[in-house]
Amino acid sequence: MQTFNSLFLLALANLLGLIIPVLLSVAFLTVFERKVMAAIQRRRGPDKVGFIGMLQAIADAGKLLFKEIILPRAANKILLIFAPVLSFGLALTGWSLIPFGHTHVFSDAEIGLLIALTLSSYGTYGILYAGWASNSRYALLGALRSAAQMVSYEVSLGLITINIVFFAGSLNFQHIGIVQEFVWGIFPFFPAAILFLLSALAETARTPFDLPEAEGELVAGYNVEYSAISFALFFIAEYSNILLVSSLFTVLFLGGATHPFWFACKVLLIATLFVWARATLPRYRYDHLMKLGWKSFLPPSPGLLVPHGSLITTL
């Protein structure tokens, strides 16, 4: 019994050691985004709460935590509550596969890349549940847009990662990082890296591909009927996914996780590109978005396997 309690406490400590840094990273990423966007648009960002506004995210979280949760009368209340919990849980589960260093990984799965892509595709269900359960036209339209968009760009993401899998000969994140010890994957696979980054923007529904949350057309998209902590869970899931795909890009194309500090610097660099895109690029029209995915991103994705396969054979 004592051994079981010790194992349980150890597992709980490891879990909290993973979740708390992720939540803090999400909090400070929102402040970082607001500060960067303010600098780009020549205005002041948050600067009142804490040193240069660094605690603004904590204040916002406290405000949402103590607000009243309002459930629409005609909504499916069970699914309405379950949807943000599902999105939040899937977003945090993906982090258990990401190595932060050679000895810093929660779950060193042999098929870690496949599991990560699977968890990413499951995130669509939380958005679909939210849109349907809200019993709102705007929420349903936003959910349908999101499902179509995520399915479209997941195909490209999966095909692009095959290049790295062939190069590394493994689906294990640690092994993928080890084979990039002398040359990062972004150099031999530069076209694939660019396609992966653009597909990741669409996968996370970020500007210029934020059609599921187009305020001018859908009020607020699939989360229009959410408030308080339920809205906060969707918000955390969105920014957690941004950091997660930035981590995936780092592992696949930027030499993997050699040391936690350098890994964090690389992830922050990629996350900055997401912020930069939001501050500078206009939103795509929906038909252009789908055409870009199926006619511009999908055909080159398997086509890159031929030159990259020849390169791998040469190496």
- The DSSP string of the chain is -HHHHHHHHHHHHHHHHHHHHHHHHHHHHHHHHHHHHHHHTTS--S-SSSGGGTTHHHHHHHHHHTSPP---TTS-HHHHHHHHHHHHHHHHHGGGG--SBTTB-S---TTHHHHHHHHHHHHHHHHHHHHHHTT-HHHHHHHHHHHHHHHHHHHHHHHHHHHHHHHHT-S-HHHHHHTTSSS-TTTTTHHHHHHHHHHHHHHTT-TTS-GGG-HHHHTTGGGTT--HHHHHHHHHHHHHHHHHHHHHHHHHHS---SSHHHHHHHHHHHHHHHHHHHHHPPPPPHHHHHHIIIIIITTHHHHTHHHHHHHHHH-
Instruction: Please tell me the predicted confidence (pLDDT) of residue 296.
Output: 84
- Residue 244 scores a pLDDT above 80: yes
Task: Show me where the domains of the chain are located.
Answer: 1-66, 73-314
- Residue 248 scores a pLDDT above 70: yes
Percent of the chain with pLDDT over 70: 90
Instruction: Please tell me the predicted confidence (pLDDT) of residue 271.
Output: 92
- Residue 2 scores a pLDDT above 60: no
Query: What integer best gives the mean pLDDT of the chain?
Result: 82
Look up residue 17 and give its two tokens. 């050691």
Predicted model pTM: 0.89
pLDDT (tens digit per residue) in 34-71: 898 888 888 888 888 878 888 888 888 888 888 888 88
- Residue 1 scores a pLDDT above 70: no
- Residue 261 scores a pLDDT above 60: yes
